[in-house]
A and B are shown apart, each in its own frame.
Chain A
Amino acid sequence: MENEKIIDLVTKISKNRDERAFSELFDFLAPKINAYYLKNNLSFEQSEELTQEVLSTIWAKSNLFDPERSKFITWAYTIARNKKIDLYRKTKSKKVEDEDIRHFLYENNKINDYEIELSIDKIKQELDENQQKLLKMSFFEQKSHKKIAEELEIPLGTVKSRIRSTLNKMQKFLS
């Protein structure tokens, strides 16, 4: 789905509480979030449960999404990631709202997804296909180094050193 279309849907949701727009957004996003959790080795039940939490958070907090500063897919990713951290949280007694830090940073002009596009493009140009794949496996799918070594059929030490050199390469474009 085009970014403009998504922004249109989210605006309808936050301004008019438009349920039809939300149903369209659900059909677009829920299968992606669900697949993300399954890739992260969560069970079928847990994945669907967390997917529901992510989508209901988007419904509840749609007024906090700022299309001028934030990309929708990045916003959705950080919500999904935080729900996964919550799942493993042992301190249940107090509520910690991890989403709020990103909203605070957007609102106070500390970060803007569109201003850093140049750094991101440079990083993607700099990393070859294998390095991008390693980043994805290790940081997006959260596979252990051992699991990555098995899947790619390369020694564990090679996985570790390749991830390290990939991160080192990225660092040049972070400042």
Chain B
Amino acid sequence: MNTVAQKNELIFNYSSGKLGEAKSMFVSMYLFLNSVAAKKASIFDNILAENLVELDEIAPKKINYKDCIAAGSKDNLEYKINENYTPLSSFIGSIDKLQWKSIYKGFKEFILPLNDNDTIKLIKMDPGTSVPLHSHNGKEYILVIDGSFCDEYGEYKKGDMQINDQNIKHHPSASDSNGCVCLSITENDVVFFGKFASILNLFTFIKSFFK
């Protein structure tokens, strides 16, 4: 499986404006933390923007520059970006002050209140915590925001992204020193394997009724 191609395609779709709210926010955060990804998005933005230059123009009939000035003068003029800005902070505030929900010992989550088909959530794992072996019915996108985790495929640090699908079975565990905070998107529920699999899968099944 070519995950580099999958990651690039996600970035292209972001540049194009094709993604839904959850994935758009996820990719914004990816570009914020990963300058290689930001550069790729910028290359594609510039290529797409050049189409504007050659486009056959169609002048708007009902709007004029004075209306635009009036509408744009409502905000304060010296527009500034907050110095603690992150794409997430403008939506949920500081990560330290979130109301986390404990899922099991050492594993907490916070589901972002977005109205979208994809579920986007923050996951917080205490140092050394691991997740039982599982795979995914749909795709899962994981972005490390703080700390690191590792699984069968390698170590993932701040700004690294992993895309998993039904072909991937993995057993991630958070780093022993710092633990791990990740942003995750799931298109569908995960499928667990091993000792507690049936009970975890049953739990996921029951949970689906309350979505």
Chain A interface residues toward B at CB < 8 A = 17, 19, 22-23, 26-27, 30-36, 38-39, 47-48, 51-53, 55-61, 63-64, 71, 73-74, 76-78, 81-82, 84-85, 88-91, 93-98, 100-101, 103-105, 107, 110-113, 116, 119-120, 123-124, 135-136, 138-140, 142, 167-168, 170-171, 173-175
Query: In chain A, what residue has the closest Cβ to B25?
Result: A96
Contact of B43 among A31, A33, A174 (CB under 8 A): A174
Given contacts A63-B79, A101-B87, A104-B32, 13 further A-B contacts (CB under 8 A): A26-B64, A34-B59, A48-B62, A52-B63, A59-B72, A85-B24, A91-B21, A91-B115, A100-B85, A100-B87, A104-B81, A139-B18, A142-B18
B81 partner, pick from A90, A100, A167, beta carbons under 8 A: A100
Interface of A (DSSP majority class): helix
A91-B114, A135-B47 as given contacts; A35 in contact with B57, CB under 8 Å: yes
Contact B40 A58 (CB under 8 A): no
Q: How many Å lie between the Cα of A36 and that of B65 in the bound state?
A: 18
A31-B60 CB under 8 A given contacts A96-B25, A171-B4: yes
Total residues of chain B contacting the partner, CB 8 A: 69
In the complex, which of the residues A39, A51, A60, A91 contacts B77, with contact meaning CB atoms closer than 8 Å?
A: A60
Q: A101-B28, A123-B47 are in contact. Are A22 and B53 (CB under 8 A)?
A: no
Interface: B96 (CB within 8 A): no
Select the stretch in B9-17, B136-144, B164-172, B202-210 that faces chain A. Answer: B9-17
C-alpha spacing A32/B56, complex, angstroms:
7
Q: How far is the CA of A51 from the CA of B185 in the complex (A)?
A: 32
Do the beta carbons of B73 and A30 come within 8 Å of each other?
Answer: no
What sequence of 0s and 1s flags, for each residue 36-67 of chain B, a beta carbon within 8 Å of any chain A beta carbon? Answer: 10111111111111111101111111111111
B17 touches A82 (CB 8 A): yes
Instruction: Kindly report which residue of chain B lies nearest to residue A140, judged by CB atoms.
Output: B51
B53 touches A73 (CB 8 A): yes
Instruction: Show 21 A/B contacts (Cβ-Cβ < 8 Å), sorted by A.
Output: A31-B60, A52-B67, A52-B68, A55-B65, A56-B72, A57-B72, A81-B16, A85-B24, A90-B115, A95-B90, A98-B24, A100-B81, A107-B81, A110-B38, A111-B38, A116-B43, A139-B18, A167-B8, A171-B8, A173-B43, A174-B8
Residues of A contacting B51 in the complex (Cβ-Cβ under 8 angstroms) = 136, 140
A97 to chain B, nearest CB (A): 6
